[in-house]
Amino acid sequence: MFKKSVIGLMLVGLIFLVAACGEENQGTPTASTGFDVATFEFPNPELPVVLIDIEGYGIIIAELYPDYAPITVHNFIDLVESGFYDGLGFHRIIEGFMMQGGCPYGMGIGGSGRHIVGEFSDNGIENVLRHHRGVLSMARAMDYDSASSQFFIMHDNSPHLDGGYAGFGRVIYGIEVVDAIVDNAEPVDRNGTIEPENHPIMNEIRLINGAQIQLD
């Protein structure tokens, strides 16, 4: 059972990063109907794993790392299980960097209404997960403890983010879906802003294995 974590309001002008995954992914389906969770082989069955179904693109599967960022993982799963992300989009996409989503307003200005502690070294908390391709990390404002619901998936390695943002997961399946989204993106400015009608939409994010975490 999860305890509720405190999450925080996100602001405009967030800076987010992208990372590369250290292992080979297992391929990418073309649609959610083509993916069978029952036959999926979890590389690390003890870790929580989420499925992200993106409309028109397919499935991304990511494992989460409570050993690196327990508060962040707990918060993310709490939002996932509440259905918070279902129907939200990716509003900021930069090729060679990252794709960011999870804002309820679709403009990068909002969050869940709560905030969490930033689990990264600049904030005095050790987190060894590097911002490599495929890594999931939390977006934030200038305040180190301002992360809420917005997260980003790295399209490429961005070591300058290490120590300043809380990496908490990694894509283990469907990295090509990330590539396709980035390739098709049409940002309207250098900040990667995507017009609302062009947001890639998350049909749902859901936990697909039984692994859970217990915060002390």
Query: Where does the pLDDT of residue 101 fall: very low under 50, low under 70, confident under 90, or very high at 90 and above?
Result: very high
Tens digit of each residue's pLDDT (9 = 90 or more) over 40-58? 889 999 999 999 999 999 9
pLDDT at 214: 55
pLDDT at 34: 67
Domains along the chain with CATH numbers: 46-207 (2.40.100.10)
Quick check: pTM over 0.85?
A: no
Tens digit of each residue's pLDDT (9 = 90 or more) over 122-165? 999 999 999 999 999 999 999 999 999 999 999 999 999 999 99
- 30 versus 101: the higher-pLDDT residue is 101
Query: Where does the pLDDT of residue 117 fall: very low under 50, low under 70, confident under 90, or very high at 90 and above?
Result: very high
User: Looking at the predicted structure, is the pLDDT value of residue 29 above 80?
Assistant: no
What is the residue-averaged pLDDT of the chain?
Answer: 86
Number of helices and strands in the chain (H, E): 2, 8
Instruction: Specify the length of the chain in residues.
Output: 216
pLDDT at 35: 76
Distance CA 138, CA 123 (A): 14
β-bridge partners, 122 = none
Query: Where does the pLDDT of residue 209 fall: very low under 50, low under 70, confident under 90, or very high at 90 and above?
Result: confident
DSSP 8-state code for residue 95: T
Q: Which residues contact 110 (CB under 8 A, 6 or more apart)?
A: 9, 10, 103, 104, 148, 149
- Mean pLDDT value of segment 88-115: 96
